[in-house]
Amino acid sequence: MRCHKAKDYISQEMDEHLPPDVTVNLTEHLDSCADCRRFRADLLLGRRAMSATTPELPENFEWKLQLKLNQTLQRTAGETAYPWAEPAPDNWRWFRNFGAAAAMGMAAVLALAVFLGPDNVPGESGQALSGGTSSGVVRSISGGAGNTDRLPLFVDQSRRGGFYGVGSQHPVSAGGFSQSSGSRFFDRGWSGHNTNDLRTIQRLRIQNSQLNRDLFQQQQMIQGMRGQLDTVDTNALELELE
C-alpha cells in the first residue's frame, strides 16, 4: 500500500468506515511507515483538541430562548394584547410615506411657480387692464372702478377693451386673475408668463405685419397714380371738360 492511499484510508478508519480486509492492509502499512503513523496521530490529536475545546453556552441562554419563543408565538398568532410585543411588519408604510412626501413636494413646486412668477404684480395688472381703453373697468376689492392699488377681482366682460385700443376677444392681462379661465393657476406656463397674453401678442404681431403689407401696397398704388398724372396733358384735359 502506498502512503497517499494509506492517508485516504486513515480518515475512513478513524470513522470505522473501512472494510476489514483493507483495515488489515492499512495496519500492516502503519507498522512499517513512521510518516503515516505520525499523520494518523496528528489527526487523532486534532479530534481530541476539537472535543476538548467545546464552547460553552451563556448561562442565560434558556431564559433568552424562552423570551424569543414567546415573542415569535405571539407574532405568529397575531396577538396584540402585549404592548412589548413587536408589531407586525407594515408592507405599505413606505408607500404611504412616499405618497405624502410626493404630494407635499408637488404642492411646494406649484406654490413656487405661482407666487414667485416674474409678472405677478397686482398694481400693474390693474393698469394694463384698465389702461387699454377708456371704457375698461376694473373692480377692485373695495369696489372702486379706478382703484389699481388693490388686487382686481374680475373685469366687466361687456366693456372690456383690447390691446392698444384694438378690439380683441383676448385682452392682455399681465398677472392677477385671468378673465377667460377665472384662475391664474392654469394661465401660466412654467416660466411664469401668462400664456393668454403671449397668444394675444402673437396674434397682434400677425395683424401688424398684415397691415404693414397693405399699407405698402397702397403706397405703391398711390405712387403709380401720381406718375400717370405727371404724364397727362392737363391743359387739354381741362379744355375737354369745359
Partner 1 sequence: MNLSRDENTNGSPAPRRVELRDIRDEDLIVMVQEGHKKAFDELVARYKGRLFSFILRMVKDPTLAEELTQETLIRVYIHAAKYREIAKFSTWVFTIATNLVRNKMRQRSRRPRVISLNPAPDDDEMPVDPPDMTADPSEGIHREELANLINDATSRIPEKYRIPFLLREVEQLSYEEIQQVTGLKLGTVRSRINRARNKFRQLIKPMLKNETLLHELERIEARAAEEKDKDF
Distance CA(24)–CA(44), nearest Å, equals: 19
Sole window of 71-79, 112-120, 182-190, 191-199 interacting with partner 1 (rule: CB under 8 A): 71-79
Number of residues lying near partner 1 (CB under 8 A): 35
Residue 4 interacting with partner 1 (CB under 8 A): no
Least separation, in Å, of the C-beta of 43 and partner 1?
Answer: 6
Least separation, in Å, of the C-beta of 81 and partner 1?
Answer: 20
Sole window of 44-52, 101-109, 170-178, 214-222 interacting with partner 1 (rule: CB under 8 A): 44-52
Residue 68 interacting with partner 1 (CB under 8 A): yes
Least separation, in Å, of the C-beta of 50 and partner 1?
Answer: 5
44 versus 222: smaller Cβ distance to partner 1: 44
Rule CB under 8 A: choose which of 21, 56, 233, 238 binds partner 1: 56
| Helical pair 20-32 and 3-14, crossing angle rounded to 10 deg | 120
Residue 76 interacting with partner 1 (CB under 8 A): yes
Rule CB under 8 A: choose which of 5, 28, 72, 181 binds partner 1: 72
68 versus 159: smaller Cβ distance to partner 1: 68
Chain mean position to CA 167: 43
Nearest CA among 192, 177, 193 for reference residue 112: 192
Binding string to partner 1 for residues 11 to 40, with x set by CB under 8 A, is what? xx--x-x---------------------x-
C-alpha cell at 120: 405677478
Residue 64 interacting with partner 1 (CB under 8 A): yes
Q: Are 204 and 175 in contact (CB under 8 A)?
A: no
CB atoms under 10 Å from CB of 163, counted, come to: 18
Least separation, in Å, of the C-beta of 113 and partner 1?
Answer: 43
Chain mean position to CA 152: 34
Rule CB under 8 A: choose which of 59, 90, 233, 238 binds partner 1: 59
The residues of the shown chain that bind partner 1, judged by CB under 8 A, are 7-8, 11-12, 15, 17, 39, 42-43, 45-65, 68-69, 72-73, 76
